[in-house]
Amino acid sequence: MAVPPLVVATAREGWRWQWRQLMQGLGPADAEGRYVRPPSDRLEVTVPRSEELLGRSLQQRPRLVIGRSCPWAHRTWLMHRLRRLEGTLTLLMAQADHRAGRWSLAPSWLGCDSLLALYRHCGTPPHHRATVPALVDPGNDADITPRLLGNDSAALSEALNRWPGGDGAPDLAPQGTQEAIERWQTLLQPAVNDGVYRCGFARTQKAYDEASDALFAALDQVEAALQRKGPWLCGAQLTIADVRLFPTLIRWELVYAPLFGCSARPLWMFPALWRWRQRFYALPGVAGTCDGEAWRRDYFGALFPLNPGGLVPAGPDLNTLISGAPH
């Protein structure tokens, strides 16, 4: 028996009202339906003195708290790998707790079983959002008060470039590249890194169209720059600009195109950008930071308003996808 049209229309309007309420909780929007990222309580990053860091025991080392699926945390994980920071900075992997809507710590650290508890243990104000990445100093023998040293991925990337690294650790902001790095940050942060969320969390067709147009216009600029003076965004040398873009582009086919609607053009239509992604993925240690299965589980499983059925779709194997040639 067919469902009466009036019942269908009523159910549709009821669902749309509920969807708007859920979306407002997921990410606020302006009056035109454009997603507006909530302001974060960013801290100025403090880098301990190299001599003091190198003299610490394993238990006294600062921890870089990351989440496997978070692209902002992925940036700092890449900095940790590329600059070989294992000897002075320990990674601490937080787990996404979909049911509680928070990051959990298992096993616990400093007596804290969640990122929120760790933030509070470090003395952050109650209004402070507990986000990854987070750089936490547990204290040394002279000062055992744990401190949150920073929690903004852009600032942390710059700080980790100054952090004492292993033998041969590259400088990812060498002299002469700072201006170019800042130009890319100014373009890519709103249009691409945040732009995929502006597409996925848009409330209206107009808001989505604006975000999608800006996203692909920025990718056109990246493509042109790589064709003109690659192989990296700032020319001959890998820099922080590349590190900041990679976490978004590596998630493209697995998450952002199918779930966030970043689908106006497939990435293989940007051949220089495709080769750039292959080149970055092949850098030592980078592939180990990429887990396509975890990304799909966390994005499709956690973002209920975008995927109310909770089904996690199959996706291509990441290694096979990256190794393929652009059409």
Determine if residue 71 is left, alpha or beta; phi over 0 gives left, psi from -120 to 50 gives alpha, anything else beta.
alpha
Average pLDDT, the chain: 92
Cα dihedral: 247, 283, 266, 270 (round 10) = 120
In sequence order, what DSSP letters do the residues of 50-114 get, joined into one string? HHHHHT--TTTS-EEEEETT-HHHHHHHHHHHHTT-TTT-EEEEEEEETTTTEEEEEEEETTEEE
Residue with tokens 């582009």: 249
Architecture of the domain delimited by 50-162: 3-Layer(aba) Sandwich (3.40)
What pLDDT was estimated at residue 54? 83
- CATH pick for 178-323 out of 3.40.190.10, 1.20.1050.10, 3.40.50.800, 3.20.20.150: 1.20.1050.10
- Cβ atoms of 237 and 243 within 8 Å: the answer is no
Residue 19 has pLDDT above 70, yes or no: yes
Q: Where are the domains of the chain?
A: 50-162, 178-323
Instruction: Fill in the DSSP letter of residue 287.
Output: G
Looking at residue 69, its pLDDT comes to 95
* pLDDT value at 151 more than 90: yes
For tokens 């933030």, the residue is: 119
Contact call for residues 42 and 50 (beta carbons, < 8 A) = no
| pLDDT attached to residue 319 | 94
**Measured distance CA(214)–CA(198) in Å, rounded:** 10
% of the chain at pLDDT higher than 90? 75
153-178 pLDDT, tens digit each = 999 999 999 999 989 999 999 999 99
Cα dihedral 64, 179, 280, 165 sign: negative
Higher pLDDT, residue 6 or 286: 286
202-215 per-position pLDDT tens digit? 999 999 999 999 99
Q: Give the residue among 211, 201, 216 at the shortest CA–CA distance from 264.
A: 216
Q: Is residue 80 scored above 80 in pLDDT?
A: yes
Beta strand segments in the chain, E: 63-67, 90-97, 102-109, 112-114, 134-137, 147-150
Predicted local distance difference test score (pLDDT) of residue 16: 78
Distance CA 18, CA 141 (A): 53
**50-162 and 178-323 have identical folds:** no
pLDDT for the residue 143: 64
pTM assigned to the model: 0.94
pLDDT above 90 (res 49): no
Confidence at 142, pLDDT banded by 50, 70, 90:
low
In this predicted structure, what is the pLDDT of residue 170?
Answer: 96
User: Which backbone phi and psi does 96 adopt, to 5 degrees?
Assistant: -75, 120
Q: How far apart are CA 152 and CA 95, in angstroms?
A: 19
The tally of CA atoms less than 13 A away on the side-chain side of residue 60 is 14
- Res 198 pLDDT > 80: yes
Q: Which of 281, 144, 273, 161 is nearest to 220 (CA)?
A: 273
Task: Tell me what pLDDT residue 42 has.
Answer: 66
Confidence of residue 63 (pLDDT cuts 50, 70, 90): very high
**CA contacts within 13 A on the Cβ side of 226:** 21
Alpha carbons 22 and 14: distance in angstroms, whole number: 12
